Amino acid sequence: MAGNHVRIRDLEAGDVLLYRPTDSWKNVISKMIRMIDGGEVSHAGIYLGDGQVGEALIAGNSGVNRNSVEVSFDGCDWVAVRRLPGKRNDLRPVLAAATTMLDQKNRYAYEQILLLAVLLLTRKVKLENPILRKIITTTMDKANRWLSAMLGEGREPMICSEFVYRCYDQADERDEDPYSLLIGGGGPVAAQGRFMRRRRHAASPAAAAQAPTIHPESLMARLANNPPKLAMQAGPAAAAPADETAAQPDPELIALIKAYEASEHSPVGKAMQAPAAAAAPDIDEVEAKAGEFAQLLQMTKAPMQAAAYGGVEDGPTEVIRTISDFVTPADLWRTGSLSSLGAVYPGR
C-alpha cells in the first residue's frame, strides 16, 4: 500500500506520479527494476491536467507522449501521487517544460530495457552471481543495439523518470530555483542549485562518480576508476530497429531474471549458481559491455548536453557526467523535495 486513497479528480497539474505495476509474467522486468533500484516503483509520469499524463512509455504510444489517465494507470496496483509543497497553482513553468519536451519528436522512450541497463550500470550489483552477470550482458547487448539505431537517426532516448525530473529541473533556469528536486538527500534544493548543473561542475571522473545517482560499488564506479575502459571507441553494434517490437523483452532475459530471483531467495535457486558459472561471462566481458553502453548513451545525449551546457568534453569525464545525470523512479520516490498525498488505486 502507498497511503491514502487519492481520487483521480483530486489530481492537480504538475503532480508527480509513481507507478507500481501488478506483479505478473508481463512485469518481470518491472520487478527486476525495483529489486535493483531498491524502491517500490518502476515507472514515473507527470499529470498534465484534464485527465492527461505526460510520460515516456514504450507500450502503446512509443516515445514521450500524452496518454489518458485510464491508459497510463492500466495494469497497476497503485500509482503514488507526490506534489511540490508551497507551489500549488504555480507550476506553469513545470508544465511548460513538459509541453516543450512532449512537442519535440526527436525523443524516443525505450522504457524498461534502457532503465534496467542504467540501473545495472549505476547501482550496487552482485557480480559474483553468474546469472546476474549474464543478465547484465544480455541487457546491455539489447540496449546497445537500440542506442546504435537512435544514434544513426539523431534521436535522443529518454527514460520515464528522467522526463519527469527534467520537467522540474528545466522549469527555471536560475541556479537557485524553486522547482528543482533534490536527489540523494532530503528537503528542497534551496541554495544547492540545480542537480544536473552541479554535476556538470565536477572536475574529474573521480568527482563525477560521487554523484548520488552512482553507487560507489557499481559498475560505473569500477569503470570510473579505470578511465581507459571508458575511452575506447564504441564498437559498431548492429542497430536494432527502433520500434515497439525491438523494445520488448525477449524470453531469454525473462528466464534469466526469474532464475536470478530464485538464486537469491531459495536454497534450490542458490544451487543453480554453480552450473551457471561455466557459461556466464567473466567480469572483463561485463565491464566491456557496460563501458560500451555508457559510451553509446553519452553519444546519443551529446546534442542535448551541448545545447544545455554550451558544449561537451571528450573522453571518460563526459561519459561519467552523462550517466550521473540519470534519475530513476526510486530516486523520485525517495526525494524529500516532494510531499506524499497517497495513491490512486485503479479499479477501486
Q: What is the pLDDT of residues 186-210, one digit of tens each?
A: 444 433 445 454 444 443 445 444 5
Whether 2 is in a domain gets the answer: no
Whether 269 is in a domain gets the answer: yes
pLDDT band at 43 (very low <50, low <70, confident <90, very high): very high
**Which letter does DSSP use for residue 255 in this model?**
H
Which residue is it, cell 527486476? 32
pLDDT exceeds 70 at position 1: no
pLDDT exceeds 50 at position 134: yes
pLDDT exceeds 80 at position 94: yes
197 vs 285, which has greater pLDDT? 285
List alpha helices for 104-194, DSSP H: 111-122, 130-153, 160-169
The confidence score (pLDDT) of residue 199 equals 46
Per-residue pLDDT tens digits for 216-260: 899 998 988 887 887 655 454 555 554 444 455 578 888 899 889
The confidence score (pLDDT) of residue 248 equals 57
For the CA atoms of 329, 332, 333, 335, what is the dihedral angle to 10 degrees?
A: 150
Which residue is it, cell 550500470? 121
Domains held by the chain: number: 1
Mean pLDDT score, 129-139 = 94
The residue type at 179: Y
Give the contacts of 231 (CB within 8 A, at least 6 positions apart). Answer: 315, 316
Per-residue pLDDT tens digits for 28-38: 888 899 999 98
Mean pLDDT score, 90-94 = 92
Mean pLDDT score, 72-77 = 92
Whether 305 is in a domain gets the answer: yes
The confidence score (pLDDT) of residue 272 equals 58
Whether 1 is in a domain gets the answer: no
pLDDT exceeds 90 at position 24: no
CA–centroid distance for 268 within its chain: 32
The confidence score (pLDDT) of residue 210 equals 55
Residues 237 and 145: beta-carbon distance below 8 Å: yes
pLDDT band at 158 (very low <50, low <70, confident <90, very high): confident
Most confident range (mean pLDDT) of 86-95, 268-277, 298-307 is 86-95
CA distances in angstroms from 206 to 66, 81, 161, 220, 312, listed in the order given: 39, 36, 25, 11, 18
The confidence score (pLDDT) of residue 189 equals 40
Q: Other CB atoms closer than 10 Å to residue 25's CB: what's the count?
A: 7
Report how far residue 163's alpha carbon sits from residue 151's, in angstroms, rounded to the nearest whole number: 19
336 vs 239, which has greater pLDDT? 336
pLDDT exceeds 70 at position 164: yes
Domain enclosing residue 94, as ranges: 8-344
pLDDT exceeds 60 at position 83: yes
Whether 3 is in a domain gets the answer: no
